[in-house]
């Protein structure tokens, strides 16, 4: 790998001591100089491959702090119902997809959104039996918290009239006949997922390689992945073969907390290519499925306060156990009460001085806050790990179910002002993996093409958004001294952009092209 010299650039370093530079040089995987053209040229051109940037913008490599990357890879090969606004269209897309399947094969996909398609009651097993009678079918809702399945799937999972709801889950049943309707919620979904045949390791690896290329083309150099052992095994295989073109910080699922502790794994274990972040826990469900845990009921449904996926007591015990073992937690919490209980669970061990203060706990999503909980993030040093595309994309449904409470929904600026650390991610495949779309959503609080901002007081600056995708994310993986800014001694992870996103009209951010992605000094994407 030849050493590289970038000259005539418009470099935003994200290093407060030298925020802007013209040139950067790297040796092997690290940055060795940042500064003016003349300073960098003094290193001697002949030892370097010289790239003239002609004024193009350079920023540190972007890090997606919340992705389900293997699911994203699988989604490339599954039926995609996203954005479809009529139920008839949903059925015909499934039907035409099914012509590619072998008889008896599982039909798998998702992306349907009951909030745009109509009431949940239209998603019945009978309708799905008509479209795919040959084999089992399961279709995940856009937010991944509901499953719509057919009769063959229910049979394969052994779900019938008398089957009890699993803890933290619900099997929807007909009020008269008690027959399962074909809708499963929250933890009930895993009864079915366990039965779905997984693609072979070879197929999964190919899909992952395709996904890595997509990620690099978006300017991503690292992700935080929240998945299970299958993903971790595949990442190790890719790394072994030199094919892992993203740095991965991996979060262990809640059911593996005890095994992680038994093995002696602690947060930060690994290296800059593949590292363990901690354990992912769940406090509640989602807004899309109205299962996020609420202090006050959902608007228009006075009995629905959401689902407590893990009880307050159990959540506190899990955080305490993890903290004692040197493991940070990332707690999925969406409703105001879900977030409140997650903060309580984190506060307990801190008050008793359990766990080293090196732990970097986080709350995933934090979509709705009670005013009195905002300051607790900063005080307890809890990272708010949020996904900005959710804000404009959820706004209609948030207003429908949370009404006036939306003032503190997706409240990124309020969190930053209160002293909270904040990181950005995508939640792919639920939303696009493209971080420029995330930056746009955080800065504009509107969908691409829309003119009106949703709660504009919660807009963040471009610098704050990039900070969340770089330095903020690197802090969350214990790597703030290793990456996240263009600084001497740090890894040479950089992105070259077609335009200066700090200067253009923010509405044009999604039109920006990634021209080149550099990972550890190596080009992993060139347009
Ligand atoms: Zn997620």
The per-residue DSSP string of 278-294 comes to: EEEEE-B--TTTT-S--
Is the CB of residue 358 less than 8 Å from the CB of residue 477?
no
* Ligand 1 center–CA 225 separation, angstroms: 9
Three-state secondary structure call for residue 393: helix
* Ligand 1 center–CA 429 separation, angstroms: 9
* Ligand 1 center–CA 68 separation, angstroms: 6
**Residue-level pLDDT at 347:** 95
* Ligand 1 center–CA 175 separation, angstroms: 32
| Torsion sign (Cα): 373, 378, 382, 385 | positive
Provide the whole-model pTM. 0.88
Is the CB of residue 285 less than 8 Å from the CB of residue 307?
yes
* Ligand 1 center–CA 425 separation, angstroms: 9
* Ligand 1 center–CA 28 separation, angstroms: 34
* Ligand 1 center–CA 305 separation, angstroms: 21
**Residue-level pLDDT at 245:** 98
Task: Give CA separation, 402 vs 115, 288, 292, 337, in Å.
Answer: 14, 11, 11, 13
Task: Give CA separation, 106 vs 97, 103, 469, 525, in Å.
Answer: 12, 9, 37, 35
Three-state secondary structure call for residue 188: coil
User: What single DSSP character describes residue 84?
Assistant: -
Residue 104's beta-bridge partner residues? none
* Ligand 1 center–CA 252 separation, angstroms: 13
Would you give the end-to-end CA distance of the chain in angstroms?
Answer: 20
* Ligand 1 center–CA 474 separation, angstroms: 19
Is the CB of residue 52 less than 8 Å from the CB of residue 4?
no
User: CA 193 to CA 185: how far, in whole Å?
Assistant: 12
Is the CB of residue 422 less than 8 Å from the CB of residue 382?
no
* Ligand 1 center–CA 1 separation, angstroms: 36
* Ligand 1 center–CA 173 separation, angstroms: 27
**Residue-level pLDDT at 481:** 96
User: CA 65 to CA 385: how far, in whole Å?
Assistant: 7
**Mode of pairing for the β-strands spanning 514-519 and 494-497:** antiparallel
Three-state secondary structure call for residue 523: strand
* Ligand 1 center–CA 278 separation, angstroms: 15
What percentage of the chain's residues is helix, strand, coil (to nearest 5)? 35, 25, 40
* Ligand 1 center–CA 352 separation, angstroms: 30
CA atoms within 13 A on the CB side of 422: 28
Radius of gyration of the chain (CA): 23
**Residue-level pLDDT at 22:** 98
User: What single DSSP character describes residue 429?
Assistant: T
Continuous H helices in 197-264? 201-217, 229-240, 257-263
**Residue-level pLDDT at 77:** 85
Is the CB of residue 83 less than 8 Å from the CB of residue 35?
no
User: CA 146 to CA 169: how far, in whole Å?
Assistant: 10
In tens digits, what is the pLDDT along the chain, a chain of 527 residues?
679 999 999 999 999 999 999 999 999 999 999 999 999 999 998 889 999 999 999 999 999 999 999 999 998 889 999 889 899 999 999 999 999 898 889 999 999 988 888 888 999 999 999 999 999 999 999 888 899 999 999 999 999 999 999 988 999 999 999 999 999 998 899 999 989 988 888 999 999 999 999 999 999 999 999 999 999 999 999 999 999 999 999 999 999 999 999 999 999 999 999 999 999 999 999 998 899 999 999 999 999 999 999 999 999 999 999 999 999 999 999 999 999 999 999 999 888 888 767 899 999 999 999 999 999 999 999 999 999 999 999 999 999 999 999 999 999 999 999 999 999 999 999 899 999 999 999 999 999 988 899 999 999 999 999 999 999 999 999 999 999 999 999 999 999 999 999 999 999 999 999 999 999 999 999 99
* Ligand 1 center–CA 204 separation, angstroms: 20
H or E segment to which residue 58 belongs: strand 57-60
**Residue-level pLDDT at 356:** 65
* Ligand 1 center–CA 289 separation, angstroms: 14
* Ligand 1 center–CA 450 separation, angstroms: 25
Is the CB of residue 191 less than 8 Å from the CB of residue 209?
no
**Residue-level pLDDT at 1:** 67
Residue with tokens 């807004």: 287
Is the CB of residue 234 less than 8 Å from the CB of residue 200?
no
**Residue-level pLDDT at 293:** 98
Cα of 26 vs its chain's centroid, Å: 30
**Residue-level pLDDT at 307:** 93
* Ligand 1 center–CA 114 separation, angstroms: 19
Is the CB of residue 151 less than 8 Å from the CB of residue 129?
yes
Is the CB of residue 222 less than 8 Å from the CB of residue 61?
yes
* Ligand 1 center–CA 5 separation, angstroms: 38
* Ligand 1 center–CA 145 separation, angstroms: 10
* Ligand 1 center–CA 431 separation, angstroms: 10
* Ligand 1 center–CA 508 separation, angstroms: 27
> What is the per-residue pLDDT across 60-95, written as a single tens digit (0 to 9) for each?
999 999 999 999 999 888 999 988 989 999 999 999
* Ligand 1 center–CA 226 separation, angstroms: 7
């Amino acid at each position: 790998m030849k050493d590289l010299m970038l000259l005539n650039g418009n470099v935003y370093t994200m290093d407060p001591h030298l925020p802007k530079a013209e040139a950067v040089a790297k040796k092997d995987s690290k940055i060795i100089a940042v500064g003016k053209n003349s300073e960098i040229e003094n290193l001697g051109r002949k030892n370097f491959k010289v790239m003239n940037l002609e004024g193009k913008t350079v920023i540190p490599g972007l890090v997606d702090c919340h992705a389900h990357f293997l699911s994203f890879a699988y989604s490339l090969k599954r039926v995609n119902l996203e954005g479809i606004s009529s139920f008839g269209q949903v059925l015909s897309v499934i039907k035409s997809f099914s012509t590619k399947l072998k008889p008896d094969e599982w039909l798998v996909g998702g992306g349907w959104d009951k909030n745009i398609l109509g009431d949940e009651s239209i998603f019945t097993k009978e309708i799905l039996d008509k479209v795919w009678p040959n084999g089992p079918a399961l279709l995940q809702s856009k937010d991944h918290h509901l499953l719509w399945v057919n009769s063959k799937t229910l049979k394969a999972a052994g779900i019938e009239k008398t089957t009890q709801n699993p803890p933290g889950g619900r099997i929807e049943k007909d009020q008269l006949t008690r027959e399962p309707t074909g809708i499963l919620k929250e933890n009930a979904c895993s009864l079915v997922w366990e039965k779905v045949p997984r693609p072979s390791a070879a197929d999964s690896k190919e899909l992952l390689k395709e996904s890595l290329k997509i990620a690099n083309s978006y300017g991503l150099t690292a992700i935080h992945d929240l998945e299970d052992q299958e993903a971790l095994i595949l990442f190790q295989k890719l790394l072994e073969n030199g094919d892992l073109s993203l740095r991965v910080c991996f979060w262990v699922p809640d059911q593996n907390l005890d095994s992680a502790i038994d093995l002696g794994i602690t947060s930060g274990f690994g290296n800059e290519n593949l590292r363990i972040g901690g354990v992912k826990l769940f406090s509640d469900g989602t807004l899309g499925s109205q299962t996020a845990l609420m202090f006050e009921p959902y608007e228009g449904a006075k009995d629905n306060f959401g689902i407590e996926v893990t009880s307050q007591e159990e959540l506190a015990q899990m955080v305490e156990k993890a903290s004692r073992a040197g493991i940070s937690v990332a707690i999925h919490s969406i409703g105001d009460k879900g977030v409140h209980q997650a903060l309580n669970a984190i506060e307990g061990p801190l008050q008793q001085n359990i766990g080293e203060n090196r732990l970097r706990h986080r709350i995933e999503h934090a979509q709705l806050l009670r005013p009195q909980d905002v300051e607790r993030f900063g005080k307890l040093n809890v990272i708010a790990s949020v996904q900005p595309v959710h804000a404009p994309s959820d706004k209609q449904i948030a207003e429908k179910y949370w009404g006036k409470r939306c003032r503190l929904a997706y409240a990124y600026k309020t969190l930053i002002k209160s002293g909270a650390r904040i990181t950005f991610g995508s939640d792919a495949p639920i939303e696009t993996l493209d971080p420029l779309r995330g930056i746009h959503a955080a800065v504009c609080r509107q969908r691409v093409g829309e003119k009106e901002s949703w709660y504009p007081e919660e807009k963040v600056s471009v610098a704050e958004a990039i900070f969340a995708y770089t330095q903020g994310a690197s802090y969350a993986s214990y790597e703030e001294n290793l990456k996240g800014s263009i600084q001497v001694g740090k890894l040479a992870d950089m992105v070259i952009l077609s335009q200066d996103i700090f200067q253009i009209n923010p509405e044009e951010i999604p039109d920006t092209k990634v021209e080149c992605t550099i990972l550890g000094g190596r080009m992993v994407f060139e347009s």
